Structure 1
Amino acid sequence: MKTSIVSLAAASLLALASTPSLAHPPIAERPAQEEAAVFEADRAEILAMAGNFKVRFDMQEATPWQQGYAPLDRKISGGHEVVRVIEDTGRRIVLQHILVSEHEGKPHITKHWRQDWEYEPAKVLVYSDRNAWTWEDVPEKMRRGRWSQTVWQVDDSPRYAGWGQFEEQGGLRRWRSNWTWRPLARRDAVRNPVYDRYYAINRHQTTPDGWVHWQDNIKMGLDEGSLKPVVQEYVLNTYTRFDGYNVKAADDYWAATKGYWAAVRSAWDKVATTKGGIAIQEEAQAGTVISARLLTMADEIVEGKLTEGKAKAEALKLIEDNTRMAGGQRVANAGQ
């Protein structure tokens, strides 16, 4: 693979992110009792994101960083989302999101994103360039007391990852990531925009009746082979606990397809391990080139049109045949 555009483009931004005055310092060793209490408090914050919710998505391009660029109008949307804990080993927690809507009076289920949380990780799978995610070391001195969050797309292919700590400020507790690279979201990718990817900080915080996920995104565009900031975007996704929709339809879908999706997750994990990460072609409208088929097979299992065994076999072949070597391991900037 050619040298990543990221490695050529954003030295100044990475230097800014690693400036000691702007970065969290290493977490000092704590007495065992305090360490255990903080760990359990962190786990409680993550587990509190599971449940049944009404969701509001609020996106606003704000400050233009290039002369003549006109920020997009604010966009607000929403829906209903079920979030379930599908794995909890103590130091690793996996949350699966499932969207619930209605179509012609019947519930319509969409397997949505997934978030994996890992305590004191040695490495994370990060977005490194178009259509590619590679392994990045977490600096050893920055692992203590911190969690990584890896976000996966609807077909369980990767999207972005970051690491950070739960912190308390003003009596409020939240998790804040390091600076992370992300591919364009579908809402942007389908517009053939002037920007190419995001450079972002990601935060999660519980509220009295749910939780919020907020993002500070620098939308970056290519200019003569270099990445330069185009516009600042602020995103606030609000999850409010709510049971007034067909939650059972989401749980029934997951009960019928969880074995299939477990096999799909394992297949992606195998590729990431054996191919130095995950490299796969993506399309603006659909995500990965195999996303539509992976999702359709889950629906066919629910409908009784396809056995789980046949679906697993086809999914594993699709993933193996459409992925390639992703390149070597990236080393994280120790100051991030």
Structure 2
Amino acid sequence: MYKSLKAGLAALALLATLPAAAQVDCGKPDCTAFNADRAAILAMAGTYRVKFDFKETVAIAPGYEPIEPKRSGGFEAVRVIEDTGRTIRLQHLLVVKGEDDKPVVIKHWRQDWTYEPETVLTYEGPDQWKVTPVPAAQRTDAWAQTVWQTDDSPRYGGVGQWKHDRGEHRWISGETGRPLARRDAVRKPIYDRYFGTNRHALTHQGWVHEQDNAKAGMRDGKLTTIVHEVVLNSYVPSTDFDFQAADDYMAKTATFWAAVRKHWDDIAAQHGGIHLVQEADNGSSTGKQLMELAGKVAKGETGTADAVSQARHLITGATGPAAATAGASRG
């Protein structure tokens, strides 16, 4: 009892150090840790200067030489687009300057957090995702993080627990499969997927997303790790950009993207997963067209209802039996 009381008091103390978040009933007698987790997730929302740092470290396969490190950055707004208590969705939006010096908004990745999930959508190999059951023993106090691409098609999903100790608030996933990112796919490397572990951690100034990746591909008929990679994506609070442009874009396209998200979810539920061809330049094969549709909605060139109808038709065609057959023959 003393240990439980001590842990509860510690959790209450850490809540005071995090941004205010509504206290939500998790369905258990004590929701203190649950609400500390929620506060940590919600603390990732904001406006940031971001830096992306990728470094291949150790060649595992003989004959492979790690490539030079790659660094990039910019400005990004992270917004809460849904919060039902046990599910939180965070949308990332890059803001860059166009040729006329006006802000250009690029809808970036999305991270969905689900408390004690029964299933998680996982990447199973080239062009294929699967609705994977989460064993009951792994659900308790755990959160699934599902990451989605720019067009809200799937990227990867994993499960882990938030920890609030040592003066740190962090979440660490199990190892998760994921398709190649554009930075690698356009080079046509000998590996074709990643197996990565994620850590999200709040810092004294923003937060970081760290990855420990194994880049793997087929060699002699066997899936083989080629090289290891470490990734550090840092988010430092900043208002040195026109983040209002990001909010305006989301306001204009919110209904469209909500319908797109739902259709992806419906496809996964209907088929027990998603088959979707990936392209080096666009990510998913639906990426370019869905982003263009959203752009037309934002500019008032296409009505939302018409754009949603076109998006559903596009997604259904890209994930149906014909697409799966074509992908199987291609692989």
The reply to whether TM is greater than 0.5 is: yes
- 1:282 equivalenced with 2:307 (yes/no): no
The one-letter code sitting in structure 1 at the alignment partner of 2:170 is R
4+ runs deviating over 4 angstroms: none
- 1:264 equivalenced with 2:260 (yes/no): yes
Equivalent in the alignment of 1:181: 177
The one-letter code sitting in structure 1 at the alignment partner of 2:62 is Q
SS in structure 2 at match of 1:305: coil
Structure 1 length normalisation: TM-score?
A: 0.86
Equivalent in the alignment of 1:46: 41
CA distance in structure 1 between the partners assigned to 2:138 and 2:260 by the alignment: 31
Equivalent in the alignment of 1:115: 111
The question of whether the paired residues in 2 share the 8 Å contact of 1:125 and 1:136 is answered with: yes
Deviation at 1:58, TM superposition (A): 0.6
Equivalent in the alignment of 1:62: 57
SS in structure 2 at match of 1:306: coil
1:19-76 C-alpha deviation (Å, 9 max, x unpaired): xxxxxxxxxxxxx66x411001100110000000000001100011022211111111
Deviation at 1:168, TM superposition (A): 4.2
Deviation at 1:289, TM superposition (A): 1.6
CA distance in structure 2 between the partners assigned to 1:80 and 1:249 by the alignment: 12
The question of whether the paired residues in 1 share the 8 Å contact of 2:181 and 2:283 is answered with: no
The one-letter code sitting in structure 2 at the alignment partner of 1:323 is T
Where does the alignment leave 5 or more consecutive residues of structure 1 unmatched? 1-31, 328-336
The question of whether the paired residues in 2 share the 8 Å contact of 1:198 and 1:219 is answered with: yes
The one-letter code sitting in structure 2 at the alignment partner of 1:268 is W
CA distance in structure 1 between the partners assigned to 2:271 and 2:320 by the alignment: 7
The question of whether the paired residues in 1 share the 8 Å contact of 2:76 and 2:95 is answered with: yes
CA distance in structure 2 between the partners assigned to 1:59 and 1:165 by the alignment: 25
Identity %: 49
1:147-158 equivalences in 2 (<5 Å):
147-158=143-154
CA distance in structure 2 between the partners assigned to 1:200 and 1:290 by the alignment: 24
CA distance in structure 1 between the partners assigned to 2:189 and 2:231 by the alignment: 18
Deviation at 1:324, TM superposition (A): 2.7
SS in structure 2 at match of 1:124: strand
Where does the alignment leave 5 or more consecutive residues of structure 2 unmatched? 1-27, 325-331
Equivalent in the alignment of 2:224: 228
Equivalent in the alignment of 2:32: 37
Relative contact order higher in (CA < 8 Å, ≥ 6 apart): 1
The question of whether the paired residues in 2 share the 8 Å contact of 1:275 and 1:324 is answered with: no
The one-letter code sitting in structure 1 at the alignment partner of 2:125 is D
1:212-267 C-alpha deviation (Å, 9 max, x unpaired): 00000011121122111111100000000001100111000000000000010011
Deviation at 1:78, TM superposition (A): 0.2
1:144-175 C-alpha deviation (Å, 9 max, x unpaired): 00000000000000000000001245332210
Q: State the superposition RMSD in angstroms.
A: 1.3
CA distance in structure 1 between the partners assigned to 2:46 and 2:241 by the alignment: 13
How many residues align? The count is: 295
